[in-house]
Amino acid sequence: TGATFNASEKSTITGSMSVGTTEVCVYVVLDVGAGASATQTIEIQIANPSTEMTVSSGTVTPGTAVAISGTTTLQSASATFTQNVYRWYVDNDTENVTDPWSAVSVIDLAENTGITIIPIANDPPDTAQELRLRTNITVNTATITGGSKYFKLQFRAGTDSDCSAGSWTDVAPSATWEYASSSVADDTTLTVAKLTGTDMLETYSKVKPANTPTGTSATGQDIEFDFHIVGTSSVSSTRYLFRLVETTADGTGTTSLAGWNNCPALTTEPGTGDLLRHGSTFSSGIKQGFYWTN
């Protein structure tokens, strides 16, 4: 009858059993302590079978160490990622954005605040308006070395605020939302943090994927990115969500993050067909209120 090891690291098997090289199967279960590090190897042996294993009759041999074949190499814990704070900014064709959306001087939308149609001073973007999205990610479980991770921006239309559900599309050339052009070089390392909680500054991105040149020095740190986008083919009076996902160096891979605490959102500018005669506008089939513009 099979048995488990007790607190004294011994196991007693009861019942009648023939013992041979193919008739007893023993599994080694062990805990890897916090002092172990990546790339270390684990090798297991029975130091002296003749004294460490006993049988009711017969002799256990040999009296020298017997190694269990094979080795195990310890790996680093994989980092997990959670998208946290975001804020929309007006593009200024420099790496360091300074004007929170909207382009109207009296309005600065706060962190984790989507762009809405009402009031009109929120300046919902049309198909030609470029936006900058600052967002940060919490790196959990393990640290990441500089240049080792890549992230890309995705979008979908929706009236909800769930970044974990639905069908998503990469921000990419010829997509509804694509990266905008600027004089700033892609992958330029950011110089000024804009978001609450940011510990490390990563890159400005106008081509997927975004790199992580800085990395992290401790678990739980937040890394900040800047994405420069334009909805060239976006539909008027439509709400869009945006999220980050992990990807490969060439941008083809897609791995969901562990979570999204805030899901960036915006609603595009209404077109003439969305406006009623008395000045109200509809978005996603819902009456939004009065919207007057020249």
Tens of pLDDT, residue by residue over 226-235, are 999 999 999 9
pLDDT band, very low/low/confident/very high, at 77 (cuts 50, 70, 90): confident
Q: Between vectors from CA 239 to CA 238 and to CA 240, what angle results, nearest 5°?
A: 115
Q: Give the closest residue to 134 by CA, choosing from 240, 264, 255.
A: 264
> Tell me, what's the pLDDT at 281?
58
CB atoms < 10 A from the CB of 119, how many? Answer: 13
Q: Is the peptide bond before 119 cis (omega within 30 degrees of 0)?
A: yes
Confidence band, pLDDT 50/70/90 cuts, at residue 74? confident
Residue 202: enclosing H or E segment and its boundaries? Answer: strand 198-205
| Residue tagged 């599994």 (tokens) | 27
Whether residue 14 has pLDDT greater than 80: no
What contacts 248, CB < 8 A, 6 or more positions away? Answer: 150, 209
Cα–Cα distances (Å) from 254 to 101, 139, 167, in that order, read 29, 17, 13
Q: Read off the pLDDT band of 104 (50, 70, 90).
A: confident
pLDDT at 156: 98
Q: Which of the given ranges, 6-10, 63-67, 166-170, 282-286, has the highest pLDDT on average?
A: 166-170
Strand partners, 217: none
| 278 or 75, which is more confident | 75
Arithmetic mean of pLDDT, 58-68: 81
What CA–CA distance (Å, rounded) separates 234 from 175? 9
Instruction: Report which of residues 214 and 272 the model is more confident about.
Output: 214
Q: 40: helix, coil or strand?
A: coil
Q: b/e for 36-73, b at 16 or more Cβ within 10 A? A: eeeeeeeeeebeeeeeeeeeeeeeeeeeeeeeeeeeee
- Confidence check: pLDDT of 276 > 70: no
- Given a cut of 60, whether residue 123 has pLDDT beyond it is yes
The confidence band for 73, taking pLDDT boundaries of 50, 70 and 90, is confident
Q: pLDDT of 209-225, one tens digit each?
A: 999 999 999 999 999 99
- Looking at per-residue confidence, does 247 or 273 come out higher? 247
Residue 288 and residue 260: Cα distance in Å, rounded?
27
Task: Please give the pLDDT value at position 190.
Answer: 98
Q: What percent of the chain has pLDDT over 90?
A: 62
pLDDT tens string 158-186: 999 999 999 999 999 999 999 999 999 99
Residue 141 or 27, more confident: 141
What pLDDT is stored for residue 294 in this prediction?
44
Length of the chain, in residues: 294
User: Taking 80 as the threshold, does the pLDDT of residue 37 lie above it?
Assistant: no
Reduced to 3 DSSP states, what percent helix, strand and coil does the chain have, rounded to the nearest 5?
5, 30, 65
What's the whole-number average pLDDT of the chain? 88
Mean pLDDT of 227-248: 97
Amino acid sitting at position 262: N
pLDDT attached to residue 24: 64
DSSP-assigned states of every residue in 105-145: TT--PPTT--B-SSSGGG----TT-EEEEEEEEEEESS---
Per the CB < 8 A criterion, the answer to whether 283 and 238 are in contact is yes
